[in-house]
Structure 1
């Protein structure tokens, strides 16, 4: 990612969940702060109310001091005592002492409240991020979301910690001071109120300008951090190629940009407000004294002289609180981008909650099929009408040049991505039919790029499943030939990955990830170049152990390794666009008398026939035969997908369910005939009696979670064909399907 493009990566990935304000200012940022923290404020409303109560108590005690001082002076100068003079003096001193204590208590309590609010926000953000679609997480990783959120949360926590309490006390005390001044003398009170208003208008103008400058130049710090991180990550290559001076100059340019931004941000006067605000702050102190003295000497207006010290004290408190409020407002003004990004993460839609799995939603078996799958990234087509069937317990290798879609196929099978066209099916049902937790419970995955968590070896393996006994963890480690290596670590299975310079080799990391996958005892194991870092001897032994320990597990291996391919039942070679180049038969040999029927076919201008063995290996020749029929003009182009899906469904049903009286279907015969107005398919097999025309229709209008399991494939058969007729003669099923061309 280019330097300084964290913000642009979010925009490019279309992750923005809120509208960016055109004219950012203190009030728009306060509104954003309210939106972000509203759930946390509700959770901690008791603590917030306690903060408010302490702030009010501090304000009342702060207001009492100057008023008691006024009464004390009136008693001393005019002999007009409302209480004993010592009591008034002691009361004034006590009020200031109580004010200092309450303000300190309030600030400490506000600090704890702010930290509790930030903790709750952190937990909510982590929960939200973990429930976002993978498309968000992929784009967010490109935008370095983890570091960005950590920085934003730290910035928010720092500003709230330093300013939340003082700002709240300052606002409440400021309102109280104005009311007290007006009660003492409305003219002096109005003067202080007017000066305070001018002061606030000035500081708001200054803060609005600095917020705008910070908003416009926000990428300067991000660019500097990115370059520094890039240099540290690439330190070895920098040293190897002796290009330190180039990267030092690169960092110097970014640092100079930050310096210029800071100068513009903090030193430039805004519309003349900077000196005027300082002058108004001084006048809040001097103005009441001058006005009080002037009113005192006028013969027609009576203002007692002893009132002036009390008003001056109130004015001093007012000036102090205005400065405190201004500092807090300025600090919050720099949270614009942090709050904007946090709102983006919060507002991005989460994945809908998954319904708990029920027994009636279990797949019929572990047959895995990809039907007409198409996938593209932008303008690049990765897969196009890709079909694949994997029988339970089958071991297949998917190979082909880079970019032909092997990893994409793994992601589609694991539902880390959804296909643009076609569907993935498990046990004869679309994958979306099953709740995601139920579907994924059948699978485990080991990828080429292995991620190990910064925790113990024990926990890294145990993350593959829930509540795993240690004996199972040790068994999985032995299975991947890693137990002895782990025992030699400083703390054995309790050794923390990445701590105390504990780093595993790439081969050890791959085997540890495989142990994590095997702890699940999965029905389907998806392996993506899982042996790329292993030597030949370790690889051979690992495969021996793997096949021996999991004889019934379906294995789908994306690999370029000839040694791995030689151990698989079947090898599927991918070409560009996901086309199948070859589908090699099982490496196992059969005796003469047990040899299954061979694939035979015949094509002429108007008719084609195909004979298939009733096993999963027949599905690939079937797809190739349909494609050949289309090339010969026997199937119109617009019908190819439908014919492929219909035949795939019928043949798969025969292979999977054609068993009866201890025997099963051995051969499937298919005939296709093209007439002027119709295409006729005839499918015959010697399996168990089965009439698809008697299967109850699927209620496709019902909500997905309320539909019965099964029947969707046959629904496709009946939907895509105009006529479906079933007969059973001489121990064979015969299904005739007609699709009209008009």
Structure 2
């Protein structure tokens, strides 16, 4: 597990982690060596001159004090390294998640990432702060005590050493026995998290349909599965815990019998036997704690493995020698893109001149939104190339690429902050005057004026305190503030009331002015603002031309148009 931990941490944290491990090991050895002084202490106390034990007692006290200082330093180092790692790993995980392809975030990832970023990361990074010190002590201190016992009597030391492979075997058995239960527990945790999120998000729909009780039953089932999985994990670890206790007690009993035999035969003094048995008893405590510590470490190991898997998921590669496009025209050259077994785009070729407006029309599932995602390089194509200004987007640094593109999607997500903070995401360094100008152009100032708190009004998680039209105005203001030369629009007015639709249309017109635009259109009235239209069907461009040309041709687009204007 230590190897996995150091690999997950990376070079930045691996070195202080190694130093902390070394300090913990030294403290554990010091603890074991300090107990060696119990042998002369007991020998003198039980001998003819008990007062001669005073120097040995003083030495024992000094050794224990030294161990206490080392253990305090080791624990403090573990806490500091653990808290530093936790903060650093949150940044590392967040940064890595931001670089993964959008396709990685399928429906099952929400619960998985939620568990990982919450309890999972705390459990994994808590190893350094809470588990490593007792684990190292439970392993190194008994081995040191066995070495000390061997110095005083090799037979007793050898007998005690027999416990080492037995304890290791029990721990290995426990790991195998609980592996399946731990995996099932993780899956149940993820499922229950998904159900909780689904239950909360679906409240309006469920209540409108009078089905909230049924949905609660599904959530209750998921939580019941979590309880069963937790019970299964407990039952799987129980034999190992009992086996470890029996092993330690059997070895201690064997040492007791061997010590009595040696003492009765005159091979060793009674004081030495008593001291060695005290040492053996001191070995038993940390060994018995291995059952509990081992369970926690196995849980942390599983989280570390999952974290390691995510961190080793390949992000979209950055170019070794990035190029800077000197134009802002767009082109797709025979682009093919697959999602799983499904071909979403199949050999699509098209071009958009700088400053031109292209509308993308087609039935649901035709690949319209995917086309926008490829232009923004949310995914990499399976074949062909996407170009901006003649440069393949894979040869443009991600930061440079996104600085040239403003995106307004149909489903707007706002962060739980103020309206101003959400607008400033478009260009964090913008002046107040520039923010206000973008808001006015998007008619967001009308919303700000009627909200309590104005610009400081909180929008809630996902923008829950704003209507759909108000969230769109924030999104358009953000895009206007960014002032990017390329604009990608996924039909932004399909679910708005007339007042908000008019306001959003006005903001979109200002956003598109003088820019290269690709807009996905669900409402056909939006298409008339485009210079050119393509009709996608089955992942291919089946028609292309101006609105008037396509209407006159009487093809698929004309059929869509007739349906949109027919009362």
For the criterion TM > 0.5, the same-fold answer is yes
Distance apart, 1:256 and its partner CA: 4.6
Q: Which residue matches 2:280?
A: 315
The whole-number CA distance in structure 2 between the counterparts of 1:43 and 1:67 is 32
The whole-number CA distance in structure 1 between the counterparts of 2:226 and 2:503 is 57
After superposition, where does 1:185-200 map in structure 2 within 5 Å? Answer: 185-200=153-168
The whole-number CA distance in structure 2 between the counterparts of 1:70 and 1:401 is 86
Distance apart, 1:177 and its partner CA: 0.5
The whole-number CA distance in structure 1 between the counterparts of 2:302 and 2:288 is 24
SS in 1 for 2:489: strand
Q: Which residue matches 2:248?
A: 281
Q: Which residue matches 1:75?
A: 44
Matched, 1:297 2:264: yes
Q: Which residue matches 1:306?
A: 271
* Residue deviations 1:42-87 (CA, integer Å, cap 9, x gap): 2424xx42553354245425532x4434323433443468x94433
SS in 2 for 1:280: helix
Could you list the structure 1 runs, at least 4 aligned residues long, displaced by more than 6 angstroms after superposition: 499-502
CA contact (8 A) 1:573 1:581 kept: yes
Aligned match of 1:60 in 30, 34, 47?
A: 30
Distance apart, 1:517 and its partner CA: 1.2
C-alpha change, 1:277 and 1:423, in structure 2 (3 Å) is closer
Aligned match of 2:408 in 446, 451, 467?
A: 446
Aligned match of 2:75 in 107, 113, 117?
A: 107
Q: Which residue matches 1:486?
A: 448
CA RMSD of aligned residues (A): 3.7
Q: Which residue matches 2:89?
A: 121
Q: Which residue matches 2:293?
A: 328
After superposition, where does 1:182-261 map in structure 2 within 5 Å? Answer: 182-215=150-183, 218-261=186-229
Residue correspondences, number:
553
Aligned match of 1:362 in 325, 338, 353?
A: 325
The whole-number CA distance in structure 1 between the counterparts of 2:503 and 2:181 is 63
Distance apart, 1:408 and its partner CA: 2.5
Q: Which residue matches 2:564?
A: none
Matched, 1:560 2:522: yes
CA contact (8 A) 1:404 1:575 kept: yes
The whole-number CA distance in structure 1 between the counterparts of 2:224 and 2:202 is 22
C-alpha change, 1:455 and 1:161, in structure 2 (3 Å) is same
Distance apart, 1:479 and its partner CA: 0.6
C-alpha change, 1:160 and 1:397, in structure 2 (3 Å) is same
SS in 2 for 1:226: helix
Q: Which residue matches 1:695?
A: none
The whole-number CA distance in structure 2 between the counterparts of 1:426 and 1:542 is 27
C-alpha change, 1:325 and 1:538, in structure 2 (3 Å) is closer
Matched, 1:529 2:501: no
CA contact (8 A) 2:241 2:291 kept: no
CA contact (8 A) 2:328 2:388 kept: yes
The whole-number CA distance in structure 2 between the counterparts of 1:493 and 1:69 is 72
Distance apart, 1:248 and its partner CA: 4.8
Q: Which residue matches 2:137?
A: 169
Superposition TM-score, scaled by structure 1 size: 0.66
CA contact (8 A) 1:479 1:542 kept: no
My pick for the range that moved more, 90-99 or 340-349, is 90-99
SS in 1 for 2:494: coil
5+ residue gaps, structure 1:
1-28, 587-616, 625-742
CA contact (8 A) 1:288 1:308 kept: no
My pick for the range that moved more, 321-330 or 92-101, is 92-101
C-alpha change, 1:583 and 1:44, in structure 2 (3 Å) is same
Q: Which residue matches 2:472?
A: 510
* Residue deviations 1:427-481 (CA, integer Å, cap 9, x gap): 4555555444444433211111112123332232222235222211111111100
Distance apart, 1:482 and its partner CA: 0.6
C-alpha change, 1:283 and 1:369, in structure 2 (3 Å) is closer
Distance apart, 1:252 and its partner CA: 4.8
Distance apart, 1:543 and its partner CA: 4.2
Matched, 1:350 2:315: yes
Distance apart, 1:333 and its partner CA: 1.9
The whole-number CA distance in structure 2 between the counterparts of 1:273 and 1:405 is 54
Distance apart, 1:263 and its partner CA: 3.9
Q: Which residue matches 1:465?
A: 427
The whole-number CA distance in structure 1 between the counterparts of 2:529 and 2:125 is 57
* Residue deviations 1:477-531 (CA, integer Å, cap 9, x gap): 1110012322444443344431799711111111111111111222222211122
C-alpha change, 1:150 and 1:576, in structure 2 (3 Å) is same
SS in 2 for 1:135: helix
CA contact (8 A) 1:357 1:435 kept: yes
* Residue deviations 1:221-266 (CA, integer Å, cap 9, x gap): 3334433443333334444444455445444544454444444433
The whole-number CA distance in structure 2 between the counterparts of 1:77 and 1:403 is 89
Distance apart, 1:189 and its partner CA: 1.6
The whole-number CA distance in structure 1 between the counterparts of 2:105 and 2:463 is 29
C-alpha change, 1:512 and 1:44, in structure 2 (3 Å) is same
Matched, 1:404 2:332: no
C-alpha change, 1:421 and 1:257, in structure 2 (3 Å) is closer
Q: Which residue matches 2:19?
A: 49
SS in 2 for 1:579: strand
**Larger helix percent:** 2
Q: Which residue matches 1:133?
A: 101
Larger radius of gyration: 1
5+ residue gaps, structure 2:
555-567
SS in 1 for 2:270: coil
CA contact (8 A) 1:354 1:437 kept: no
SS in 2 for 1:341: helix
My pick for the range that moved more, 441-450 or 379-388, is 379-388
The whole-number CA distance in structure 2 between the counterparts of 1:73 and 1:96 is 16
CA contact (8 A) 2:110 2:194 kept: no
Distance apart, 1:179 and its partner CA: 1.0
Matched, 1:92 2:60: yes
